[in-house]
Chains A and B, each alone.
Chain A
């Protein structure tokens, strides 16, 4: 069975500080990986997707970056946090090319003060 683990569970950070969030997928080789952002009580916005190691596509510009250093790992980061970065960050994976079903992790709650 596949499992997805996100870390940390929650973060409280100061404006202007750096950030690194991660997720790891176990039990599935070469998954498609995604980062989503959800404002409190809001909809889900896709930020990045990756279909292979070292290749990441940006969907929206939010002063964030993503990397895929290993087949099973996806990292979201920024050098300088903004207040608007607060929210719920979700990592997700899908099985194959064009497979629409997304499997989400349990998310990271980020509060920027």
Chain B
């Protein structure tokens, strides 16, 4: 059973467009949702994160929209740039405990064409 699901394996947008990456989850206890960005041959890096008490988190061109009732969230990348081409992982965890056990989705590979 896939606890965190990303709806698209890949997504292609043109430079300047808004890329929308979708994610849904099964476990109602999840309350922390980070998005990680990974370039080929590198480790993932935290891009932006949201807690379940919020419905929106914005950081520059990156915005997370969160719907607790529907158990889904999306990452919007405004004014996409070729440098944003990477794989984006949605993840989720339950706060507390000694193990930061993030459950990751399978990732969405974003390609931004110029």
- Chain A: residues with CB nearer than 8 A to chain B? 32, 34, 41-46, 49, 51, 57, 59, 90, 92, 94, 97-107, 109
A45: shortest Cβ distance to chain B, in Å?
8
The answer to the question of B97 belonging to the interface, with a C-beta cut-off of 8 Å to chain A, is: yes
* A6 to chain B: closest residue by CB: B43
In Å, the complex CA distance between A91 and B53 comes to 30
Q: Give which listed residue, B41, B42, B43, B93, contacts A100 with CB less than 8 A.
A: B93
A25: shortest Cβ distance to chain B, in Å?
13
- Chain B: residues with CB nearer than 8 A to chain A? 32, 34, 41-46, 49, 89, 93, 95-102, 104-107
A42 engages B106 (CB within 8 Å): yes
> Which residues of chain A have C-beta atoms less than 8 A from B34's C-beta?
100-101
B45 engages A99 (CB within 8 Å): no
In Å, the complex CA distance between A103 and B49 comes to 14
A106 engages B42 (CB within 8 Å): yes
Q: Give which listed residue, B42, B49, B107, contacts A101 with CB less than 8 A.
A: B49
A58: shortest Cβ distance to chain B, in Å?
11
Q: Give which listed residue, B43, B95, B98, contacts A92 with CB less than 8 A.
A: B43
B99 engages A106 (CB within 8 Å): no
In Å, the complex CA distance between A22 and B105 comes to 26
* A109 to chain B: closest residue by CB: B41
